[in-house]
Amino acid sequence: MPRKRPAPRLPTIPAESLTAAQRKLRDAISSGPRGRLVMNGPFGCFLHAPEYGDAAQQLGAFVRYQTSLPPRLSEFAILTTARLWRAQYEWFAHAPMAARAGVAQQTIRDLRAGRRPARAPADERALYDFIKELYQTRRTSDVNYRKVHKLLGDAGMVELVGILGYYALISMTLNVFRANIPDDEPLPFSEA
Protein backbone atom coordinates (compact mmCIF):
# COMPACT_ATOMS: atom_id res chain seq x y z
CA MET A 1 0.00 0.00 0.00
CA PRO A 2 1.47 3.41 -0.96
CA ARG A 3 2.34 5.72 1.90
CA LYS A 4 0.12 8.71 2.39
CA ARG A 5 1.76 12.01 1.48
CA PRO A 6 2.46 14.17 4.49
CA ALA A 7 0.12 17.12 4.88
CA PRO A 8 1.54 20.60 4.22
CA ARG A 9 2.38 22.50 7.39
CA LEU A 10 1.40 25.94 6.10
CA PRO A 11 -2.07 26.76 4.84
CA THR A 12 -2.57 28.19 1.37
CA ILE A 13 -3.50 31.83 1.72
CA PRO A 14 -6.54 32.67 -0.42
CA ALA A 15 -5.95 35.58 -2.84
CA GLU A 16 -8.72 37.63 -1.23
CA SER A 17 -7.03 37.30 2.20
CA LEU A 18 -3.58 38.56 1.17
CA THR A 19 -2.19 41.53 3.06
CA ALA A 20 -0.65 44.46 1.21
CA ALA A 21 2.86 43.01 1.77
CA GLN A 22 1.74 39.58 0.52
CA ARG A 23 0.14 41.12 -2.59
CA LYS A 24 3.35 43.05 -3.23
CA LEU A 25 5.35 39.81 -3.05
CA ARG A 26 2.87 37.97 -5.29
CA ASP A 27 3.02 40.77 -7.84
CA ALA A 28 6.84 40.93 -7.74
CA ILE A 29 7.09 37.20 -8.44
CA SER A 30 4.40 37.24 -11.14
CA SER A 31 5.87 40.23 -12.96
CA GLY A 32 9.43 38.87 -12.90
CA PRO A 33 11.14 36.21 -15.02
CA ARG A 34 9.15 33.37 -13.41
CA GLY A 35 5.90 34.80 -14.75
CA ARG A 36 3.63 33.32 -12.08
CA LEU A 37 3.34 32.41 -8.44
CA VAL A 38 2.82 28.72 -7.73
CA MET A 39 1.06 28.55 -4.38
CA ASN A 40 2.18 25.05 -3.39
CA GLY A 41 5.88 25.70 -3.96
CA PRO A 42 8.39 27.78 -2.02
CA PHE A 43 6.71 31.08 -2.88
CA GLY A 44 3.50 29.96 -1.21
CA CYS A 45 5.62 29.43 1.91
CA PHE A 46 7.28 32.81 1.47
CA LEU A 47 3.86 34.54 1.52
CA HIS A 48 3.71 33.74 5.25
CA ALA A 49 6.75 36.02 5.78
CA PRO A 50 6.50 38.39 2.82
CA GLU A 51 9.40 40.74 3.56
CA TYR A 52 11.73 37.77 3.95
CA GLY A 53 10.10 36.13 0.94
CA ASP A 54 10.75 39.16 -1.22
CA ALA A 55 14.44 39.24 -0.34
CA ALA A 56 14.72 35.50 -0.98
CA GLN A 57 12.86 35.58 -4.29
CA GLN A 58 15.07 38.43 -5.54
CA LEU A 59 18.17 36.35 -4.83
CA GLY A 60 16.47 33.39 -6.48
CA ALA A 61 15.66 35.36 -9.61
CA PHE A 62 19.31 36.39 -9.87
CA VAL A 63 20.83 32.94 -9.33
CA ARG A 64 18.31 31.31 -11.65
CA TYR A 65 18.33 33.78 -14.55
CA GLN A 66 21.33 36.09 -14.37
CA THR A 67 24.49 34.15 -13.53
CA SER A 68 27.27 33.41 -15.99
CA LEU A 69 26.60 29.66 -15.78
CA PRO A 70 24.96 28.16 -18.85
CA PRO A 71 21.37 27.07 -18.09
CA ARG A 72 22.36 23.40 -18.49
CA LEU A 73 24.94 23.62 -15.69
CA SER A 74 22.73 25.77 -13.51
CA GLU A 75 19.83 23.31 -13.80
CA PHE A 76 22.22 20.40 -13.24
CA ALA A 77 23.38 22.04 -10.00
CA ILE A 78 19.76 22.65 -8.94
CA LEU A 79 18.80 19.01 -9.63
CA THR A 80 21.85 17.72 -7.77
CA THR A 81 20.85 19.86 -4.79
CA ALA A 82 17.23 18.70 -5.00
CA ARG A 83 18.37 15.07 -4.98
CA LEU A 84 20.78 15.47 -2.10
CA TRP A 85 18.01 17.12 -0.06
CA ARG A 86 15.34 14.75 -1.45
CA ALA A 87 13.23 17.86 -2.12
CA GLN A 88 10.16 16.46 -3.86
CA TYR A 89 8.75 19.72 -5.19
CA GLU A 90 12.13 21.06 -6.32
CA TRP A 91 12.80 17.89 -8.30
CA PHE A 92 9.29 17.90 -9.76
CA ALA A 93 9.67 21.52 -10.87
CA HIS A 94 13.26 21.41 -12.15
CA ALA A 95 13.67 17.98 -13.80
CA PRO A 96 11.72 19.14 -16.90
CA MET A 97 13.64 22.42 -16.92
CA ALA A 98 16.94 20.56 -16.76
CA ALA A 99 15.91 18.37 -19.69
CA ARG A 100 14.93 21.45 -21.73
CA ALA A 101 18.28 23.06 -20.85
CA GLY A 102 20.15 20.04 -22.26
CA VAL A 103 20.75 17.71 -19.30
CA ALA A 104 20.45 14.18 -20.71
CA GLN A 105 17.58 11.98 -19.56
CA GLN A 106 20.04 9.28 -18.44
CA THR A 107 21.83 11.85 -16.29
CA ILE A 108 18.52 12.92 -14.77
CA ARG A 109 17.67 9.27 -14.04
CA ASP A 110 21.11 8.71 -12.46
CA LEU A 111 20.75 11.77 -10.25
CA ARG A 112 17.25 10.77 -9.17
CA ALA A 113 18.54 7.32 -8.22
CA GLY A 114 21.38 8.87 -6.22
CA ARG A 115 24.08 7.69 -8.62
CA ARG A 116 27.01 9.66 -9.96
CA PRO A 117 26.10 10.28 -13.63
CA ALA A 118 29.01 8.37 -15.16
CA ARG A 119 28.00 9.07 -18.79
CA ALA A 120 27.33 12.77 -18.27
CA PRO A 121 29.62 15.31 -19.94
CA ALA A 122 32.86 16.05 -18.11
CA ASP A 123 31.66 19.48 -16.92
CA GLU A 124 28.56 17.98 -15.28
CA ARG A 125 30.62 15.24 -13.62
CA ALA A 126 33.03 17.87 -12.27
CA LEU A 127 30.13 19.87 -10.85
CA TYR A 128 28.61 16.72 -9.36
CA ASP A 129 31.82 15.81 -7.53
CA PHE A 130 32.21 19.38 -6.25
CA ILE A 131 28.57 19.66 -5.12
CA LYS A 132 28.40 16.26 -3.47
CA GLU A 133 31.67 16.83 -1.63
CA LEU A 134 30.54 20.28 -0.48
CA TYR A 135 27.22 19.04 0.90
CA GLN A 136 28.78 15.96 2.53
CA THR A 137 31.93 17.46 4.06
CA ARG A 138 31.00 21.19 4.15
CA ARG A 139 34.30 21.79 2.31
CA THR A 140 35.78 21.16 -1.13
CA SER A 141 39.12 19.65 -1.99
CA ASP A 142 41.63 21.55 -4.09
CA VAL A 143 41.24 18.92 -6.82
CA ASN A 144 37.47 19.39 -7.14
CA TYR A 145 37.74 23.16 -6.77
CA ARG A 146 40.33 23.43 -9.55
CA LYS A 147 38.28 21.29 -11.94
CA VAL A 148 35.20 23.48 -11.57
CA HIS A 149 37.17 26.72 -11.41
CA LYS A 150 38.75 25.83 -14.76
CA LEU A 151 35.23 25.66 -16.20
CA LEU A 152 33.65 28.66 -14.49
CA GLY A 153 36.36 31.11 -13.38
CA ASP A 154 36.20 33.26 -10.27
CA ALA A 155 32.80 34.90 -10.83
CA GLY A 156 31.23 31.61 -11.93
CA MET A 157 32.51 29.87 -8.80
CA VAL A 158 30.95 32.53 -6.57
CA GLU A 159 27.69 32.27 -8.53
CA LEU A 160 27.70 28.45 -8.36
CA VAL A 161 28.04 28.58 -4.58
CA GLY A 162 25.17 31.11 -4.58
CA ILE A 163 23.00 28.76 -6.64
CA LEU A 164 23.77 25.89 -4.27
CA GLY A 165 23.07 28.00 -1.18
CA TYR A 166 19.82 29.35 -2.56
CA TYR A 167 18.53 25.94 -3.61
CA ALA A 168 19.55 24.44 -0.27
CA LEU A 169 17.41 27.19 1.30
CA ILE A 170 14.57 26.32 -1.07
CA SER A 171 14.95 22.60 -0.41
CA MET A 172 14.87 23.14 3.35
CA THR A 173 11.80 25.36 3.00
CA LEU A 174 10.01 22.78 0.87
CA ASN A 175 10.93 19.90 3.16
CA VAL A 176 10.15 21.61 6.48
CA PHE A 177 6.80 22.93 5.31
CA ARG A 178 5.99 19.80 3.26
CA ALA A 179 5.28 21.52 -0.02
CA ASN A 180 3.59 18.82 -2.05
CA ILE A 181 3.61 18.16 -5.74
CA PRO A 182 0.24 17.55 -7.45
CA ASP A 183 -1.55 14.46 -6.12
CA ASP A 184 -1.64 12.83 -9.55
CA GLU A 185 2.17 12.95 -9.86
CA PRO A 186 4.38 10.24 -8.34
CA LEU A 187 6.79 11.35 -5.63
CA PRO A 188 10.34 11.47 -7.01
CA PHE A 189 11.82 10.15 -3.73
CA SER A 190 10.69 7.83 -0.98
CA GLU A 191 9.31 9.48 2.11
CA ALA A 192 10.21 6.46 4.26
Q: Kindly state whether residues 109 and 171 are assigned to the same domain.
A: yes
User: How far, in Å, CA of 97 to CA of 71, rounded?
Assistant: 9
Q: What domain count does the chain have?
A: 2
Under DSSP, the state recorded for 117 is -
* pLDDT confidence of residue 1: 42
Q: Kindly state whether residues 45 and 84 are assigned to the same domain.
A: no
User: Higher confidence at residue 133 or residue 29?
Assistant: 133
pLDDT tens across 57-106, in order? 999 999 999 999 999 999 999 999 999 999 999 999 999 999 999 999 99
Q: Kindly state whether residues 25 and 105 are assigned to the same domain.
A: no
Side chain identity at residue 98, one-letter code? A
Q: Domain end: 6, 31, 65, which one? A: 65
Q: Kindly state whether residues 76 and 164 are assigned to the same domain.
A: yes
Q: What mean pLDDT is reported for the chain?
A: 94
Give the domain CATH number at 90.
Answer: 1.20.1290.10
* pLDDT confidence of residue 3: 57
Q: Kindly state whether residues 48 and 128 are assigned to the same domain.
A: no
* pLDDT confidence of residue 33: 80
User: How far, in Å, CA of 47 to CA of 162, rounded?
Assistant: 22
- Residue 155 belongs to some domain of the structure: yes
Under DSSP, the state recorded for 192 is -
Kindly indicate the confidence band of residue 32, based on its pLDDT and cuts at 50, 70 and 90: confident
- Residue 59 belongs to some domain of the structure: yes
Q: Kindly state whether residues 159 and 79 are assigned to the same domain.
A: yes
Q: Kindly state whether residues 154 and 79 are assigned to the same domain.
A: yes
Q: Kindly state whether residues 110 and 137 are assigned to the same domain.
A: yes
Q: Kindly state whether residues 129 and 40 are assigned to the same domain.
A: no
**Average of pLDDT values for 165-184?**
94
**Residue 86: which of 11, 168, 183 has the closest Cα?**
168
Across 88-124, b (16+ Cβ under 10 Å) vs e yields: bbbbbbbbeebbebebbeebbebbeeeeebeebbebb
The domain of 123 spans: 71-176
Q: Kindly state whether residues 42 and 86 are assigned to the same domain.
A: no
Inter-axis angle of helices 142-176 and 50-65, nearest 10: 140
| 35-44, 52-61, 79-88, 150-159: segment of lowest average pLDDT | 35-44
Residue 147 CB neighbour total at 10 angstroms:
19
Q: Kindly state whether residues 54 and 147 are assigned to the same domain.
A: no
**Residue 36 reports pLDDT greater than 80:** no
